A and B are shown apart, each in its own frame.
Chain A
Amino acid sequence: MSEFLNLDREKEAQTKLTNRSTFLLVLVGLFGFITLFQLVKLTVLDSGLYTTISDENRIVRVPIYPSRGLIKLSNGEIVTENIVSQALTISPSKTKDIEQTLKELKENLIINEIQLLAYKEKSIDKKSKYERVVIAENLSQQQIARFSVESDRWPSLSIEARLMRFNLSGPIFSHVLGYVGQISLEEIEDSINFSYPLSFQIGKSGVEKSYEEQMRGGVGYKTIEVDVHGKEIRELTRVIPKKGSDIYLTLDKDLQELARNELAGRKGAIVALDPNTGFIKALVSGPDFNPNIFNKTEIGDLDIIFNDLESPLFNRAISGSYPPASTIKPFIGLLGLKEGEIDWNTTIEDEGFFQLNEEGRKYRGWKEEGHGQVNLAKSIIESSDVFFYQLATQLTVDRIATFLKEFGFGLKSGVDLYAEAEGILPDRKWKLGAIGESWFVGDTVNMGIGQGYISSTPLQLALAVSSIATRGKIYKPKVVAKVNEDLIEKEIFLEIDSIKESDWEKLESSMVSVISDWRGTAFNLNEIAKNKIAGKTGTAQIKSLTDEELTVKEEYEDIRQEVSNRDHALFVGYGPIPEPKLTVVVIVENGESGSAIAAPIAQRLIDKYLSKNN
């Protein structure tokens, strides 16, 4: 009985086992089918996609940076070269926590805050996410050693050699050469026809920026196979980078050095150019800076430069706007002659002031007692203000503005440097728009002596004055004469053909007399002059003199207490006469005296240039 029951129970258990096994098999089979389908999907349906991903994993396109074109002088002397430096690079896609990594690097003193470049996080999605990014440049031997010891901690970091920019002449050419720096995301996005790699060094100012296209060369690429840590296993292909073009400056190093020494760190600008070609021979803006600090090839604190109230980065020679003051007078005179308002014999009585009518405001000349009987020549030689107050009033602002534009006032010259300013050439429309007032005759009076709203850059003045030297031709100013073997041709910028030859000659001779005549405002130059030059002094007022009770001298005594209120010293000139070879404009901010401060600098520059080129 029990035997039978047992058999029965055992049979029941076996049936149960079979049933439940079948059930389990079906269950696992159903889930297994999902996995099986996924396997087919991965290996057959989506295989192409995953092959691409796996290739992207292991194959990395690494840019090979080209050697940037050198900057040389016309004699072939190198001014800016490339030097090898060690940089710390990171592979963002291989780094789990970038912030943490950077923090660790700082804590371990491998890099300091100043060296650490702004990390371009957004760039990872935009550019190839496998590209390496430079996070610190110009590592010291000590830093390299420190990193090498602990490099296992950060497998996604590595040290790479790269070429950096070094100016052999230090700050001498600072505003002309400019500097390079890490490309920004905006610059990558804005570049047309050129795909910049993430850690490219791009020109940020000066010729480094304006000749970026020529000097950058062509980026090469190599494709390499890497392991999971970004370590190179082997090279697959390579495209050789193309070296950038060398550029040759028009500048004369000796002249540039002299100009810089003459300015001696004062605020101001000196522009010297060949009036016959527009080629700039010297361009100094003071104070200046050492571009190598920006290039990261010399150590220095950028914050000191950025926070300097005297703005050493500001290129006063092309971006600074100054009242032209008396240096505008020759051009007002020319317009008077052209329009027939005056001739060389027209004389007026300069009593020291000018009034529009009997009761009107007295516009005072710089000389309290006046210059007496003055004609155009004498007004230029002695710099009579009253003569030009009178003449400007007769000419009206409309004619003055139109005429001055022919000399490049209010226009950008298109010099091959960035951030050129256009100054202000005011007229009725301009005043209404900029000031919101209509034009008064008094504004014209001021404009006649280059004061008031009118302002121009030192470069504009140099170009305008050059037109007298060339009898009406203004060439486009250039700092680069040659790109590789291609000579850059001179280009006409403006041409003034409404002036009679005899008027040019007489104007020039009166400007020669500014120096040679004993009454001339720059007669003091006779002591040092080695060459005959033509010129015009200028003293730009920062603060206008309005108190009629005080004499000009008395009132100015008050004003000059504050250095920044002192007048700017200006001188424009060219030489030698005849056959001028160099135009020079000197502006010394708060230098007070065009004749005593600015003029001698110009004379010495012209003398130096001629002694070299004869």
Chain B
Amino acid sequence: MSNKAPLDYQLNTSFGTRKFTLSKLLIDPILVFSLLTILIFGLFVLFSASGQTVVMVMKQSIYVAIGLFLMFFISRLDQSVYKSFFMHLFWFGLILLVWVLLFPAEGYKTDRWIDLGFISFQPSEVIRLLLPLAAASYLTRNQKRNTIKDWVVVLVAILSSSFLIFKQPDLGTALIVLASGCIPVFLAGFPLLILIILIMVVIISSPFLWASLTPYMQQRVITLFNPESDLLGAGWNISQSKTAIGSGGFWGKGYLNGTQSQLDFIPESHSDFIFSVIGEEFGFLGIFLLLMLYGIILYRVFKIALNSSTEFSRLAATSIGFIFLIYIWINVSMTVGTLPVVGVPLPLISQGGTSILIHLVAFGFVLSMKRRQTW
């Protein structure tokens, strides 16, 4: 049995029993501590943003705990253990996506949820991790160069999953999934010529795409360009969010002292607009420190990716890093009014258990890909 185990794994376990170090336990202490700091900070912010609701924070804490456990567990795994599973798991995720459209869970506004009784989760969140990992796994499955057929297979998988999510309807997640799928494809060396042609096609077909959006989604895009036009309607979110961040100034109004946040002026302040609460209560300084933490995490992820041993792990970890970065960028941009309000949560902080769980699982995979410096 032990003969079949990879060398890496054997070395790791044999040394681990002999000498305990923090870096052996946590694999990448800087990354893990940065994550923990943001998670704890996030729970405090959630308390403030939710109108000081303990229940919501408790619920979130449970997800965080489960997420951390999963991250810790996955980080112990060797990539060879799970690499080939992703493609099968992806099919399973796709079935779940079809499932929610056919049998939506009762009691939710959109058809995003699967209710297992003891826990409810959004399959779209699961797919947005499975898709890039499966893509990375598929594109690096052998030593050969990828053929046109390989690219097409992956693109079809990406488009079908984002289309299913778009149908829920959830434009924000659909776009995130689309990006999540495209990032490993692009990084894996998708032919530039075809890419340019595809981009041209998208640009030409954009009027038709626009027509296929629901009026609600169109309105959200329109108000980005002129939020003042509809201050009580769709522009309300953006203008209140900007007001919150702007009035926070450099130092912020102080924890639990944000008037915009505490008096309910920011809509969705606990989920999509939680960044506004941070801006109002902790000011530019708070935002800066938070972005620094996110930066450290990204730096560690990319560093792990760069030094990683296999083609798969390099591609997968880099993709996870970019997806994380894009999450942050979209969320911050929409709260300050430079992107339409598309409903993307702030990673690790916004209310939403599945989202946090998936992010932590993703970091678990990244940690597991770190080249063991045990010899």
Assembly CA distance A587 to B326 (angstroms): 89
For A13, list chain B residues within 8 Å (CB).
188-189, 311
> Do A53 and B187 contact each other (CB < 8 Å), given the known contacts A39-B332, A58-B265?
no
Which stretch (B24-32, B55-63, B148-156, B239-247) binds chain A? B239-247
Whole-angstrom distance from the CB of A35 to the nearest CB of chain B? 4
For A31, list chain B residues within 8 Å (CB).
329, 333
> Do A49 and B284 contact each other (CB < 8 Å), given the known contacts A225-B263, A229-B264?
no
For B326, list chain A residues within 8 Å (CB).
28
For B189, list chain A residues within 8 Å (CB).
13, 16-17, 20
Check B302 for interface membership: any CB of A closer than 8 A.
yes
Instruction: Give residues 313-327 of B contacting A (CB, 8 Å).
Output: 314-315, 318, 322, 325-326
For B240, list chain A residues within 8 Å (CB).
57
B314 contact from A14, A32, A51, A96, Cβ within 8 A: A14
For B373, list chain A residues within 8 Å (CB).
none
Check B338 for interface membership: any CB of A closer than 8 A.
yes
Q: Is the CB of A38 within 8 A of B338?
A: yes
B245 contact from A16, A50, A233, Cβ within 8 A: A50
Q: Is the CB of A9 within 8 A of B145?
A: yes
For B279, list chain A residues within 8 Å (CB).
39, 42-43
Q: Is the CB of A17 within 8 A of B329?
A: no
Using an 8 Å CB-CB cutoff, how does the interface string of B137-152 with A read, 1 for contact, 0 for none?
0000001010000000
Instruction: Give residues 215-247 of A contacting B (CB, 8 Å).
Output: 225-229, 233
Check A40 for interface membership: any CB of B closer than 8 A.
yes
A21 contact from B244, B318, B333, Cβ within 8 A: B318
CB-CB nearest in chain B for A16: B189
Whole-angstrom distance from the CB of B166 to the nearest CB of chain A? 22
For B248, list chain A residues within 8 Å (CB).
43, 47
Check A44 for interface membership: any CB of B closer than 8 A.
yes
Q: Is the CB of B187 within 8 A of A228?
A: no
Check B225 for interface membership: any CB of A closer than 8 A.
no
Assembly CA distance A24 to B325 (angstroms): 11
Interface of A is mostly: helix
For A49, list chain B residues within 8 Å (CB).
246
Q: Is the CB of A38 within 8 A of B336?
A: yes
Whole-angstrom distance from the CB of B242 to the nearest CB of chain A? 6
CB-CB nearest in chain A for B337: A38
Assembly CA distance A53 to B259 (angstroms): 11
Check B69 for interface membership: any CB of A closer than 8 A.
no
Q: Is the CB of B250 within 8 A of A21?
A: no
Whole-angstrom distance from the CB of B274 to the nearest CB of chain A? 15
Check B227 for interface membership: any CB of A closer than 8 A.
no
For B263, list chain A residues within 8 Å (CB).
57-58, 225-228, 233
Check B67 for interface membership: any CB of A closer than 8 A.
no
For B339, list chain A residues within 8 Å (CB).
35
Using an 8 Å CB-CB cutoff, how does the interface string of A538-576 with B read, 1 for contact, 0 for none?
000000000000000000000000000000000000000
Interface residues of A, count at CB 8 A: 41
B187 contact from A9, A20, A57, A229, Cβ within 8 A: A20
Using an 8 Å CB-CB cutoff, how does the interface string of A94-135 with B read, 1 for contact, 0 for none?
011000000000000000000000000000000000000000
Instruction: Give residues 313-331 of A contacting B (CB, 8 Å).
Output: none
Assembly CA distance A44 to B247 (angstroms): 9
For B287, list chain A residues within 8 Å (CB).
39, 43
For B259, list chain A residues within 8 Å (CB).
54-55, 57-58, 225
Instruction: Give residues 8-62 of A contacting B (CB, 8 Å).
Output: 9-10, 13-14, 16-18, 20-21, 24, 28, 31-32, 34-35, 38-40, 42-44, 46-47, 49-51, 53-55, 57-58
Q: Is the CB of B284 within 8 A of A43?
A: yes
Assembly CA distance A42 to B246 (angstroms): 4
Check B356 for interface membership: any CB of A closer than 8 A.
no
Assembly CA distance A96 to B326 (angstroms): 34
Check A502 for interface membership: any CB of B closer than 8 A.
no
Q: Pick 5 A–B contacts, CB within 8 A, sort by A.
A: A6-B143, A35-B333, A42-B242, A53-B246, A228-B264
The 7 A-B pairs of least Cβ separation, nearest first, read A50-B246, A54-B247, A43-B284, A228-B264, A42-B246, A227-B263, A47-B249
Told that A16-B187, A21-B187, A57-B240 touch, could you supply 10 new A-B pairs with CB distance under 8 A?
A: A17-B315, A21-B302, A24-B183, A34-B333, A42-B246, A42-B279, A42-B336, A43-B250, A47-B246, A58-B265
Which B residues are within 8 Å of any A CB, using their own CB? 143, 145, 183, 186-189, 232-233, 240, 242-250, 259-260, 263-265, 279-280, 283-284, 287, 302, 306, 311, 314-315, 318, 322, 325-326, 329, 332-333, 336-339
